[in-house]
């Protein structure tokens, strides 16, 4: 053992706590041969003896009696405070502390909500099946403007191939400037007689929102009623047909409700959503968005709605 090793085990050596007998013996033999380490050992012994002496004299020292008295006074005050404050919410808290109650209540609510959704969808399908299919003819290209008799253009146009643009709407002064359509303006055209008849769709009046300036635009996401298909949930979500309400252009004015209308399916840059104050997904900024433009008799654009199929 050298001096450094001796120094390392000095505390244990003096405290006589070391159970490693070999080290103990080696340290003692080193101290007997090294005068410096022997002196260090002696000093350490004196120090430890002094510390123990002090510890013995101090072991009966305690805090003053007034500390205990002050603490007990404080303890009683705290207990009085606890008793004075009524625990109003304790019954509810006790109830809701039990996680099983919370879990049970949540399960019941989820089950009830799911059953309600299923029942509502089933009812819609049954009602749609009872109604006759709408007659789509060439004359339906220009549809009467009577509310309640205009079929949902989102659905009608969705099944029609793009037949080329109709007479392009010339936008008069004062209209909201829409970005130009990118490609394939789709308009309502009669179905090919050779094709399968269209699925019965519940007729729906065009829903017109208040002008943009009133700041009351809302997204109206509606289910398309494709309940005969029962795809998996993710697929169904992806296929959901979402369309906004018709957003009138400012210049449409009072003629909006009395004119005959045409509807043109166009694709617009996604930034058009922002023009109408609608939220835009920046991650899909490069993808176009579909829109139905409502045209008046003179070809003026009256309103627009955005469609996601």
Partner 1 sequence: MIDPQTLSDEELLRLTRAGDEHAFTVLYRRHQGPVYRFALQMSGSQSVADDITQEVFLALMREFSRFDSSRGSLAPYLYGVARNQVRRHMERGKFQVPIHDDGGASLEPITAPGDPLGDLTLREGLSALRQAILTLPLHYREVVALCDLEEMSYEEAARSIGCAVGTIRSRLHRAHALLIQKLRDAKETPSGVSRNSMRCFK
Q: Which of 3, 20, 49, 95 binds partner 1 (CB under 8 A)?
A: 49
Cα separation of the two ends of the chain: 86
At which residue do the structure tokens 């065009």 appear?
A: 206
Task: Give me the least distance between CB of 21 and partner 1, in Å please.
Answer: 20
Q: How far is the CB of 287 from partner 1 (least distance, A)?
A: 55
Do the bridges between strand 288-295 and strand 301-308 make them parallel or antiparallel, or are there none, so unpaired? antiparallel
Torsions phi, psi of 84, nearest 5? -75, -30
Stretches 42-50, 180-188, 197-205, 269-277: which one binds partner 1 (CB under 8 A)? 42-50
Residue 79 is a binding residue for partner 1 (CB under 8 A): yes
CB count within 10 Å of CB 262 equals: 21
CA angle 150, 130, 126 (to 5 degrees): 105
* Residue 236 C-beta-side C-alpha neighbours within 13 Å: 12
- Of 3, 20, 52, 106, which one interacts with partner 1 (CB under 8 A)? 52
Q: Which of 29, 32, 36, 72 binds partner 1 (CB under 8 A)?
A: 72
Asked if 75 is part of the footprint of partner 1 (rule: CB under 8 A), the reply reads: yes
User: Which residue's CB is nearer to partner 1, number 50 or number 113?
Assistant: 50
Shortest distance, CB of residue 12 to partner 1, whole angstroms?
Answer: 9
Among the listed ranges 56-64, 95-103, 244-252, 263-271, the one in contact with partner 1 (CB under 8 A) is: 56-64
Among 9, 265, 279, smallest CA distance to 158 is for 265
Q: Does 50 bind partner 1 (CB under 8 A)?
A: yes
Please, which of residues 265-284 interact with partner 1 by CB under 8 A?
none
Per-residue b or e along 2-29, where b marks 16 or more CB atoms closer than 10 Å to that residue's CB: eeeebeebbeebbeeeeeeeebbeebee
Instruction: Examine residue 71 and tell whether it contacts partner 1 (CB under 8 A).
Output: yes
Q: Which residue has the tokens 């252009």?
A: 249
Q: Note whether 47 binds partner 1 by CB under 8 A.
A: yes
* C-beta closer to partner 1: residue 59 or 237: 59
The encoded tokens of residue 85 equal 């404050």
Look at residues 157, 199, 180 and name the one whose alpha carbon lies nearest to residue 271. 180
Comparing CB distances to partner 1, the nearer of 70 and 220 is 70
* Helical spans, DSSP H, in 225-292: 233-239, 272-275
42 makes contact with partner 1 (CB under 8 A)? yes
Site string for partner 1, 1-30 (x = CB under 8 A): ------x--xx-------------------
- Joined together, the tokens standing for residue 75 give 């303890």
Nearer to partner 1, 57 or 92 (CB): 57
68: CB partners within 8 A, 6+ apart = none
Strand partners, 27: none
Taking the C-alpha atoms of residue 133 and residue 22, their distance in angstroms, rounded to an integer, is: 103
Residue 78 in the binding site for partner 1 (CB under 8 A): yes
Site size toward partner 1, by CB under 8 A:
38
Give the residue with the Cβ less far from partner 1, 80 or 149: 80
Contact between 59 and partner 1 per CB under 8 A:
yes
Residues at the contact surface with partner 1, assessed by CB under 8 A: 7, 10-11, 39, 42-55, 57-64, 66-68, 70-72, 74-76, 78-79, 82
């Amino acid at each position: 053992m050298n001096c450094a090793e001796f120094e390392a085990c000095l505390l244990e050596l003096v405290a006589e706590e070391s159970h490693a007998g070999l080290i103990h013996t080696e340290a003692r033999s080193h101290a007997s041969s090294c005068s410096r380490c022997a002196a260090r050992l002696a000093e350490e012994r004196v120090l430890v003896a002094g510390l123990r002496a002090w510890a013995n004299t101090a072991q009966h020292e305690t805090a003053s009696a007034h500390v205990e008295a002050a603490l007990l006074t404080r303890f009683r005050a705290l207990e009085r405070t606890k008793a004075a404050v009524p625990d109003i919410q304790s019954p509810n808290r006790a109830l809701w502390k039990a996680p099983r109650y919370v879990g049970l209540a949540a399960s019941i609510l989820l089950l009830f909500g799911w059953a309600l959704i299923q029942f509502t969808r089933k009812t819609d399908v049954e009602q749609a099946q009872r109604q006759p299919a709408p007659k789509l003819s060439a004359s339906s290209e220009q549809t009467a403007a009577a509310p309640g008799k205009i079929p949902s253009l989102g659905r009608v146009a969705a099944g029609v191939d793009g037949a080329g643009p109709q007479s392009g709407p010339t936008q008069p002064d004062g209209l909201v400037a829409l970005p130009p359509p990118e490609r394939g303006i789709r308009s309502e055209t009669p179905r090919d007689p050779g094709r399968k008849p269209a699925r019965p769709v519940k007729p729906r009046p065009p829903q017109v929102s208040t002008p943009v300036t009133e700041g009351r635009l809302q997204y109206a996401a509606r289910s398309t009623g494709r309940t005969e298909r029962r795809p998996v949930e993710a697929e169904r979500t992806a296929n959901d047909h979402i369309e906004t309400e018709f957003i009138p252009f400012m210049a449409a004015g009072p003629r909006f409700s009395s004119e005959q209308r045409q509807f043109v399916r166009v694709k617009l840059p996604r930034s058009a959503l922002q023009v109408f104050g609608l939220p835009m997904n920046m991650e899909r900024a490069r993808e176009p968005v579909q829109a139905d433009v409502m045209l008046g008799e003179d070809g003026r654009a009256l309103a627009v709605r955005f469609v996601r199929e």
